[in-house]
């Protein structure tokens, strides 16, 4: 390439592109007539139109023909000077002065590689992990069937009290709705004499009849493993983390008020299985007062989590009072409420509750922390509920539990995180299922499997849809593997989480960093 043609003006990416196109090939095979017609056609368009696309298409076609047939542009009647003019024109048209070499050699192949990574997911997810939005027609059919079996009127269905009144607590009722294997029915009977089962009719409608190990069924209906899994009894979490009545605390700045032991439904994987869902208990004002006193007397506490059980099973008046009390404590700066009810019983979220949330959020930021484990749990109804909540509070965050057969593949977890993000909920944590409760050890997933799943999300989904992977072992401990592979001189060697490819990252010097004499300090005598 000679400088008289203007090649010297090109950036290094474009020079590389020109070299690739014009270098003589060892073996050649003739270009197809159609390819020649296409080249001529694109060349004309690229010259006539003030657009980048025909120029890019021309270069891509020439590059393919050179690669596959060994034909240079000149062999096809296109001169280097023609292409140089187009290269300059491309850069002039583009608002960000992207060069033809940068776009064709780099950007487009980076995007193609990225697309290839997501391809398997795109093909798999509608079948492997359908959302409740995608399954809505079938869920609606389920709802009609359940209403008929239980004798529910539409107004019962649409109200929280109706959902609780008709909640399914016996295997007899459940088997009238779902076609369960006979030996499963016997086993569930055996388990439910010891552990409580409760599904709201709404949550039951998310179960797809006929699906073995349906992910919603697994979360809500206990199997024989729950009592067969006798392991070492470890005392309930509260035993080593509760410094005061109703309080759990293991961080200096965050405390939890377990404001109730009731939930809209009972989960097979419940960490608090020891005191949740055994027997509904209404707590006394005195208990709440003692919890509030503890927070009042500990000025280090700035963030208070109201949880349970499920905070939203509490009556509106009590929630309003509790939030007002917390807002009046000077050192409490933020609040959170933990609730699965928007997913299990969205009928609970009435306008009065929304007003209470907004009023408290106006005082000091309030977040709602929920638990959604599969995309199947997001329906048009729960999505609308989350949309309404998200307008009234600072953030709606999700804490999922990584569960065997439920969300333990890349596709299922990506789909969960993308679906909730589209439903106004931000993925926050994914917990590795706890070792403390032998009852649900059959639902546990090995740590490396979870690491692979979470790491696969980097570079593939929106950054704010990627949760942190956590083990609970006397506080929350991040389970991420390090992506810092080592050091090479002044560079840090980094590993790309999605491919394992290593890249060098020039680091700032520690010597410079420890020197305070920089910027404005340098002007001071």
Ligand X SMILES: *Cc1c(COP(=O)(O)O)cnc(C)c1O
CA pair distance 159, 155, nearest whole angstrom: 6
Q: Which does 431 bind (CB under 5 to 8 A by kind): ligand X, ligand SF4, none?
A: none
Assess 256 for contact with ligand X (CB under 6 A). Answer: yes
Assess 251 for contact with ligand X (CB under 6 A). Answer: yes
Size of the site for ligand X (CB under 6 A): 9
Which among 246, 307, 238, 314 has a CA at the least distance from the CA of 280?
314
Q: Which does 310 bind (CB under 5 to 8 A by kind): ligand X, ligand SF4, none?
A: ligand SF4
Assess 310 for contact with ligand SF4 (CB under 6 A). Answer: yes
CB of 215 to ligand SF4, least distance (A): 15
Nearest to ligand SF4 of 271, 287 (CB atom): 271
Q: Could you tell me which stretch among 9-17, 102-110, 148-156, 249-257 binds ligand X (CB under 6 A)? A: 249-257
CA pair distance 425, 453, nearest whole angstrom: 20
User: SS3 of 168, please?
Assistant: strand
CB of 208 to ligand SF4, least distance (A): 21
Assess 263 for contact with ligand SF4 (CB under 6 A). Answer: yes
Which among 416, 425, 419 has a CA at the least distance from the CA of 388?
425
CB of 478 to ligand X, least distance (A): 10
CA pair distance 107, 101, nearest whole angstrom: 9
Q: Which does 263 bind (CB under 5 to 8 A by kind): ligand SF4, ligand X, none?
A: ligand SF4
CB of 242 to ligand X, least distance (A): 9
Assess 60 for contact with ligand X (CB under 6 A). Answer: no
Nearest to ligand SF4 of 86, 273 (CB atom): 273
Nearest to ligand SF4 of 100, 265 (CB atom): 265
Q: Which does 276 bind (CB under 5 to 8 A by kind): ligand X, ligand SF4, none?
A: ligand SF4
CB of 363 to ligand SF4, least distance (A): 26
How many CA atoms, within 13 angstroms, populate the side-chain half-sphere of residue 313? 24
Nearest to ligand SF4 of 98, 237 (CB atom): 237
Q: How far is CA 495 from CA 466, 482, 504, 508, in A?
A: 18, 9, 9, 18
Q: Could you tell me which stretch among 68-76, 190-198, 201-209, 251-259 binds ligand X (CB under 6 A)? A: 251-259
Residue pair 264/308 in contact (Cβ under 8 Å)? The answer is: no
Assess 216 for contact with ligand SF4 (CB under 6 A). Answer: no
- Residue pointed to by tokens 């909540």: 389
For residues 452-511, which are near ligand X according to CB under 6 A?
476
Assess 497 for contact with ligand SF4 (CB under 6 A). Answer: no
Q: Which does 333 bind (CB under 5 to 8 A by kind): ligand SF4, ligand X, none?
A: none
Nearest to ligand SF4 of 69, 269 (CB atom): 269
Q: Could you tell me which stretch among 265-273, 296-304, 315-323, 471-479 binds ligand SF4 (CB under 6 A)? A: 265-273
- Residue pointed to by tokens 């009972």: 266
Cβ neighbourhood burial of 269 (10 Å; 0-12, 13-18, 19+): buried
CA pair distance 120, 117, nearest whole angstrom: 7
Nearest to ligand X of 250, 498 (CB atom): 250
Cis previous bond, 309, omega within 30: yes
Q: Which does 270 bind (CB under 5 to 8 A by kind): ligand SF4, ligand X, none?
A: ligand SF4
CB of 429 to ligand X, least distance (A): 7
For residues 305-324, which are near ligand X according to CB under 6 A?
305
CB of 374 to ligand SF4, least distance (A): 14
What six digits make up the tokens of 459?
């570079």
Which among 89, 84, 90, 34 has a CA at the least distance from the CA of 64?
34
Assess 275 for contact with ligand X (CB under 6 A). Answer: no
Assess 71 for contact with ligand X (CB under 6 A). Answer: no
Question: Exactly one of 13, 136, 195, 250 binds ligand X (CB under 6 A); which one?
Answer: 250
Residue pair 375/124 in contact (Cβ under 8 Å)? The answer is: no
Question: Exactly one of 89, 147, 241, 480 binds ligand X (CB under 6 A); which one?
Answer: 241
Nearest to ligand X of 191, 263 (CB atom): 263
Radius of gyration of the chain (CA): 30
Q: How far is CA 445 from CA 289, 375, 402, in A?
A: 40, 19, 7
Question: Exactly one of 55, 188, 257, 267 binds ligand SF4 (CB under 6 A); which one?
Answer: 267
Q: Which residues does 159 contact at the CB level (< 8 Å), separation at least 6?
A: 347
Instruction: List, as own/partner pairs, every contact residues 205-210 make where C-beta atoms lie below 8 angstroms and the sequence separation is at least 24, other chains included.
Output: 205/139, 205/142, 205/143, 205/146, 206/132, 206/135, 206/139, 206/142, 206/376, 206/377, 206/379, 207/142, 207/178, 208/135, 208/138, 208/142, 208/376, 209/142, 209/178, 209/179, 210/179
Question: Exactly one of 80, 187, 248, 310 binds ligand X (CB under 6 A); which one?
Answer: 248
Q: Which does 251 bind (CB under 5 to 8 A by kind): ligand X, ligand SF4, none?
A: ligand X
Range list of H helices, 94-180: 100-101, 108-128, 136-150, 154-157, 160-165, 171-177
Size of the site for ligand SF4 (CB under 6 A): 12
Number of other residues whose CB lies within 10 A of the CB of residue 35? 18
Question: Exactly one of 18, 202, 266, 288 binds ligand SF4 (CB under 6 A); which one?
Answer: 266
What six digits make up the tokens of 120?
């398997």
Which among 326, 306, 305, 325 has a CA at the least distance from the CA of 314?
306
Residues making contact with ligand SF4 (CB under 6 A): 263, 266-267, 270, 272, 276-277, 308-310, 340, 371
Residues making contact with ligand X (CB under 6 A): 241, 248-251, 254, 256, 305, 476
């Amino acid at each position: 390439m000679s400088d008289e043609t203007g090649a010297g003006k090109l950036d290094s990416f474009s020079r590389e592109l020109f070299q690739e196109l014009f270098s003589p090939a060892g073996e050649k095979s003739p270009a197809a007539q159609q390819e020649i017609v296409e080249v001529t056609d694109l060349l004309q368009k690229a010259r006539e139109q003030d657009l980048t696309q025909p120029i890019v298409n021309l270069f891509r076609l020439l590059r393919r023909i050179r690669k596959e047939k060994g034909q240079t542009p000149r062999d096809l009647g296109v001169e280097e000077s023609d292409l140089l003019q187009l290269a300059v024109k491309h850069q002039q048209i583009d608002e960000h002065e992207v060069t033809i070499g940068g776009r064709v050699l780099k950007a487009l192949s980076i995007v193609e590689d990225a697309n290839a990574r997501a391809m398997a997911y795109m093909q798999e997810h509608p079948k492997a992990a359908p959302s409740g939005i995608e399954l809505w027609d079938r869920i609606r059919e389920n709802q009609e069937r359940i209403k008929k079996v239980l004798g529910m009127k539409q107004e019962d269905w649409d109200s929280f009290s109706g959902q609780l009144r008709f909640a399914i607590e016996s295997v007899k009722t459940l088997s009238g709705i779902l076609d369960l294997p006979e030996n499963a029915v016997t086993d569930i009977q055996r388990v439910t004499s010891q552990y409580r089962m409760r599904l709201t009719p709404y949550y039951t409608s998310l179960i797809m009849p006929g699906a073995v190990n349906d992910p919603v069924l697994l979360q809500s209906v206990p199997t024989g493993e729950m009592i067969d899994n006798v392991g070492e009894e470890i005392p309930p979490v509260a035993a080593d983390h509760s410094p005061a009545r109703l309080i759990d605390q293991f961080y200096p700045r965050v405390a939890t008020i377990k404001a109730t032991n009731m939930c809209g439904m009972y989960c097979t994987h419940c960490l608090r299985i020891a005191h949740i869902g055994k027997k509904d208990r209404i707590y006394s004002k005195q208990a709440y007062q003692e919890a509030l006193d503890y927070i009042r007397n500990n000025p280090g506490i700035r963030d208070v989590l109201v949880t349970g059980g499920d905070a939203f099973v509490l009556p509106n008046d009590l929630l309003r009072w509790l939030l007002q009390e917390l807002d009046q404590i000077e050192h409490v700066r933020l609040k959170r409420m933990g609730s699965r009810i928007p997913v299990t019983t969205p009928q609970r979220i009435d306008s009065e509750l929304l007003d209470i949330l907004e009023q408290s959020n106006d005082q000091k930021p309030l977040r709602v922390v929920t638990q959604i484990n599969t995309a199947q749990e997001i329906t048009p109804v729960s999505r609308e509920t989350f949309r309404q909540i998200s307008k009234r509070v600072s953030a709606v965050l999700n804490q999922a539990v990584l569960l065997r057969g439920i969300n333990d593949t890349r596709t299922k977890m990506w789909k969960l995180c993308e679906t909730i993000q589209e439903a106004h909920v931000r993925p926050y944590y994914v917990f590795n299922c706890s070792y403390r409760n032998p009852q649900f050890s059959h639902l546990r997933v090995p740590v490396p499997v979870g690491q692979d799943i979470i790491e696969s999300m980097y570079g593939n989904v929106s950054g704010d849809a990627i949760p942190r992977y956590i083990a609970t072992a006397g506080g929350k401990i991040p389970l991420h593997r390090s992506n810092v592979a080592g050091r090479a001189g002044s560079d840090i060697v980094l590993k790309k989480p999605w491919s394992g490819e290593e890249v060098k990252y020039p680091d700032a010097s520690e010597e410079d960093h420890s020197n305070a004499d920089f910027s404005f300090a340098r002007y001071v005598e």
